[in-house]
Amino acid sequence: MSQAFTAIATLIAKPQQQAVLKRELSALVAPSREEAGCQYYQLHEDAAQPGTFYVLERWDDEAALEFHNNTAHFQNFIAQTREAIEHFELKRLQLIV
């Protein structure tokens, strides 16, 4: 049985693409929070480095994240930001305490 985990997505916008990335990331929040298996989904922007965004996510299991990655709203995000993202990284974390 897969267990719940936290994920941190780091996205850095290309120059002059910060507004596009911020808009599209913001549009992901509400529908992602409604997905079965999503415990939380929060968007943050680095206060010291505008254009660097972090999405803090908690999923029931890997299947919930896989479902998320295949939703229409996430696929639309990918299509809309293909030219706006300079860097993307997703880290999976296990809660210790």
34-76 pLDDT, tens digit per residue, is: 999 999 999 999 999 999 999 999 999 999 999 999 999 999 9
CATH of region 18-93, choose from 3.40.50.10710, 3.40.640.10, 3.30.70.100, 1.10.10.1150: 3.30.70.100
pTM of the full structure: 0.93
User: Residue 93: pLDDT above 60?
Assistant: yes
The region, left, alpha or beta by phi > 0 then psi within -120 to 50, assigned to residue 45 is beta
Element (H, E) at 57: strand 52-59
Task: Report the DSSP beta bridge partners of residue 6.
Answer: 58, 93
Task: Quote the CA–CA distance of 34 and 89 in Å, as a whole number.
Answer: 23
For the chain, the structural domain boundaries read 18-93
Confidence band of 1 (pLDDT split at 50, 70, 90):
low
Nearest to residue 69, comparing CAs of 50, 51, 88?
88
Task: Quote the CA–CA distance of 61 and 81 in Å, as a whole number.
Answer: 26
